[in-house]
Structures are given as C-alpha cells and as structure tokens.
Amino acid sequence: MRSRKFLRAEQLGLRFDVPGLVAGVDEAGRGPLAGPVVAAAVILDDLQPIKGLADSKVLTPMRREKLFDEIRAKALCCCIAEASAAEIDQINILQATMLAMRRAVEGLRLKPAKVLVDGNRIPVLKVPAEAIIKGDAKVKAISAASILAKVHRDRLCLALHEQHPQYGFDGHKGYPTPEHLAALRAHGACPEHRRSFGPVRDVLPR
C-alpha cells in the first residue's frame, strides 16, 4: 500500500509522462462577487486540430464564442462543471475551485491517463495530475478548457442580468468594478452574491 507521503507527491507538479489520453483543465470566475466558479476539462482529438487556441483572456468575445462551438464539436470529450455561490461561501473560493475542477474531470466521458491543470494547485483526483503555471497559454488542451469555462460563465452572467438587471452583470460579469460596488450599496445583495466576500458581506443586514 502506498504511503500518504507518496500519494501526495504524485499529485504535485512533477514532470512525468503517462501514455494515453491527456485532459486539460482550467477555471473561470474566482474573483467575481457573484455566481458560481466554473471549471472545464477537455481531451482534444489530435486528428481534428483546432486553430487559434489561446488563453481565453487574450481572445475577443466573438472569437471565444466561435472556438467554444468548435471545441465542443471536435474534442474527443469535454465537461463543464460548477461550484455554486453557496458552496463557495461554505468551503471558500479555493476549495470550491478545486471542487469544480474535480467535477469537470470526473464528468468526462473518457477517462484520461493524465490531467494538466492551469496554475500552481491541483484538485485531488483519481488519476495523475500536474499543475502548469500559465498553462492556458502553453498547453492547447488547457487553452480549450479556459475558453469553455469563460464562455459558459459569461453566459451565466447574461442570464443573471436578465433576473437582476439593476446590478449590470452583463457588463462587469460579477467582478468588483465601481459600478458593481455602487449597485451593491444601492440594492443590497441578490441570492447569487457570494456572502463570504468582503464587499458583499459589508452590505448585508447586521
């Protein structure tokens, strides 16, 4: 039986090659004051390359939308998962991000032999995983995951704007812009606001 120390080492950012399918994982929505944090996992098909994959933050919204559809059509499999605002408040944003990532990987139709995660932390998984800093700009599968997560969350914010137009979610996407903070002070928090985040907590009834 493997020791706990060995199991922990296997989940760290160690360089190792495992034959088989590789999944890229990224998230969107750690910083906003409202809505879920979203994660995506993608296994690309080498026989159907996708041009223009890059970190979602450097792409225009129109380009992201087009790539979103192309990734969904050409990838071997992909999964988008969430951790809700309530879960973020319950277990904190870091752990909720790890939870969303784990849900995305476990939701893949095909089981990867290895998972590559953007950043410097990885969720606890049943397969080997490696964290890659700036991976969304270096690894195509992570780039694809970043695009899926970003577009999905932006669409959630548009739906949230329809429910609560007074906050302007269609513009700031939940981030703590001056406009969003002013709307919070004027209207209080809506059900999708993260109550554990300071600016939201400050406007809650004492």
Q: What is the pLDDT of residues 50-94, one digit of tens each?
A: 999 999 999 999 999 999 999 999 999 999 999 999 999 999 999
Confidence of residue 119 (pLDDT cuts 50, 70, 90): very high
Strands 114-118 and 129-132 come out as parallel
Residue 148 and residue 64 in contact, taking contact as beta carbons nearer than 8 Å: no
Q: How many residues would you count in the chain?
A: 206
pLDDT tens for 161-170 read 999 999 999 9
Of the candidates 143, 147, 167, the one whose C-alpha atom is nearest the C-alpha of residue 155 is 147
98 alpha carbon, distance to own chain's centre: 9
At 13 the pLDDT is 41
Rounded mean pLDDT, 29-43 = 98
At 104 the pLDDT is 98
- For residue 11, pLDDT over 60 is answered with no
At 194 the pLDDT is 98
**Average pLDDT for the chain:** 92
Q: Which stretches of 5-86 are assigned E, i.e. beta strand?
A: 22-28, 37-43, 77-83
Confidence of residue 7 (pLDDT cuts 50, 70, 90): very low
Confidence of residue 10 (pLDDT cuts 50, 70, 90): very low
Q: Which two tokens stand for residue 119?
A: 């950043």
Distance CA 171, CA 180 (A): 9
Of the candidates 70, 77, 29, the one whose C-alpha atom is nearest the C-alpha of residue 52 is 70
At 2 the pLDDT is 42
- For residue 23, pLDDT over 90 is answered with yes
